[in-house]
Amino acid sequence: MNWRLLSRLDKAARAGRLGGVDFAVIIAPLVEKDFIDRYWDRAPVHIPASPERRDAPPMGWNDLNALIAQRTHWTPERFNLVLNSRPVDPAHYMADAIGKPAAGDPARIEHLLAMGASLVVNHVDDVLPRVRAIADTLATRFAGLGGANVYASFNGVQAFASHYDTHEVFAFQCAGEKRWRIYANRAESPLEAPQGDDAQAWIDASKGPVLLDITTRPGDLLYIPRGFFHDAIATDTSSLHVTFGVAPHSGRILLELIEEAALTDPAFRAYLPDARVGNGVPLRERLAELGQRLAEMAASPVLADAVALRQRKLSQTAHSLSLPDRPTLRFFARTGRQARIERDARGIALHAAGHSQSLGLVADAAEWMLARAAFSREETYAQFAWHPRSELDAIIDLFERLGLIAPYQPQI
């Protein structure tokens, strides 16, 4: 392995930097513009190994062995075993320990793997900095929720039947080989997986002919857009791969945000006319009026800011400590100068000392600062980690220039 590169990824994750590794490195040698223009949310693509990916995979077999040894971390929500496309009952691999919650037992897991079961480890980005660095990069690049699962399979066993995912898939082959079949048909922008006893029959009837038949080898990356039907099977070797998923917000978020905004308007809280009155004309007129108000809300800059804020929160990256190093805290106390924050159709603005300033996405931080008797710059970073620190610094500096806060040193 390229331990120098691995060290860089670990340091990036510990430093809490956004992503920690460049997206262009993840998809090399494919050029980022080509990926966005030709493949993102359009078509699957197999990217052969680059030297960086081959020499520095997100994880290896030793990492997986060490993770499984951390027994108390592994509950049925975090990992599972699959045999012949069916989940294994956790009772076969979970074990009780005196004074501790039930957890995965390495010996029982090993026995099931020897029988041909495949292992799925969920949320591995929570425990491996190298994996988290890549997951953060994808989350930041596509303003989505990022995560990673690990799949270990053996000797030609197919763990999962044909299916599609409701998020974008970046499958990173870490060790061994895996054969992937991606089918020609695609579920259109799915938000949920099909359910019911006939779901698998529907998938098999809908997936169409094989579009791509690919074997991934160490360092290869396979991108599968959401909705594409696919399945995978280990070859005659053992296979270890990490699937990175990223799920941006869809238009469904508008329904929630518009509901929140609409219910602040008395017109949406008022009773609707009785449909039996006037042949339903008053009802249709009221619905048309409310529809026009909804259209105005959807086109407003306030809603655009609300969506952008949700995207920031969704793609928030991890922050890691660097102990024993600790930051120097820079404190501020509120002064007696008055200020108010107002909302209207144009957005959210701060009014203070004869000055009016649009707050944009950091309005939440500004409201928090106004309500506090004292706070530190570093506390603001922690409370509003989804905002770039440069924007938080700018609003803190604005408050100081307007005389709303002043530096002070608390007695701790």
What is the pLDDT, as a whole number, of residue 16? 35
**Closest C-alpha to 178, from 161, 157, 148:** 157
What digits encode the pLDDT tens for the residues 82-99? Answer: 988 889 999 999 988 777
Residue 3, pLDDT > 60, answer no
Report residue 31: phi and psi, to 5°: -75, 140
Question: For residue 365, which amino acid is it?
Answer: A
Domains and CATH numbers, the chain: 3-248 (2.60.120.650), 252-314 (no CATH), 331-407 (3.90.930)
What is the pLDDT, as a whole number, of residue 312? 97
Neighbours of 217 (CB within 10 A): 17
| Model-wide pTM > 0.75 | yes
Greatest Cα pair distance in the chain: 78
Report residue 58: phi and psi, to 5°: -60, -30
Q: Which of 34-48, 141-155, 208-222, 224-238 has the lowest mean pLDDT?
A: 224-238
As given in the structure block, the two tokens for residue 127 are 């425990």
As given in the structure block, the two tokens for residue 157 are 């066993």
More confident residue, 312 or 100: 312
What is the pLDDT, as a whole number, of residue 10? 41
> If you write DSSP's letter for every residue of 135-187 in order, what string do you get?
HHHHHHHHTEEEEEEEEEE-TT---S-SB--SSEEEEEEEEEEEEEEEEEEE-
More confident residue, 377 or 159: 377
What is the pLDDT, as a whole number, of residue 157? 67
